[in-house]
Amino acid sequence: MPIQRLNHAVLYVRDVDASVEFYTEALGFRAVAGMPGRAMFLQAAASTNDHDLGLFAMGPDAGPSAAGRSTVGLYHLAWEVDTLGELGRIAGVLRERGALVGASDHGSTKALYARDPDGIEFEVSWLVPADRLGGDTEMRTAPLDLDAEIARYGADLPGGIGVSVAADRG
């Protein structure tokens, strides 16, 4: 049987407590298990996984990741939100924290790019529902005008229906 989906991700971080604070306050994860200061396991707000993100402490002397600059490695993780309204709310939180580093319109995906306290990049995205896909949602990279996308699709339209979420859940 082929792979179905990503179950969880694990990151090495300098300070587990600082990372837990970031991911819970900025993205709404909740801590579900672990050893404070050493390792913690977080769950996304609407998840039924036992955990979606693991954080393991490396300590304050750990160097920054060189992935993509001088070594191979993971570029980023992408977290999906249900609505453009939620994407807008998260954009504001990330902007306030100085973590937002970009926002792109990829046609079928509307994406924010940010960095956590260790500089690890991640994406938060909303996916155009399958029944709204067409010629104007082809793959591209352009600046994201979130207000224009909300005017087009609405702030509360569930995203990803028929793409990453079963059509019967919409």
Q: Is the pLDDT of residue 61 over 70?
A: yes
CATH T-level assignment (fold) for domain 75-170 = 3.30.720
Answer yes or no: pTM beyond 0.75: yes
Within this chain, domains 1-59 and 75-170 share the same CATH topology: no
Contact 16/36 with Cβ under 8 angstroms? yes
What pLDDT score was predicted for residue 58?
96
Average pLDDT over the chain, rounded to an integer: 93
Q: Where are the domains of the chain?
A: 1-59, 75-170
Closest to 48 (Cα-Cα) out of 129, 162, 169, 158: 169
Instruction: Kindly report, residue by residue over 1-44, the tens digit of the pLDDT.
Output: 787 778 999 999 999 999 999 999 999 999 999 998 999 999 99
Condensed to tens digits (0 to 9), the pLDDT of residues 91-125 reads: 999 999 999 999 999 999 999 999 999 999 999 99
| CATH class of the region 1-59 | alpha beta
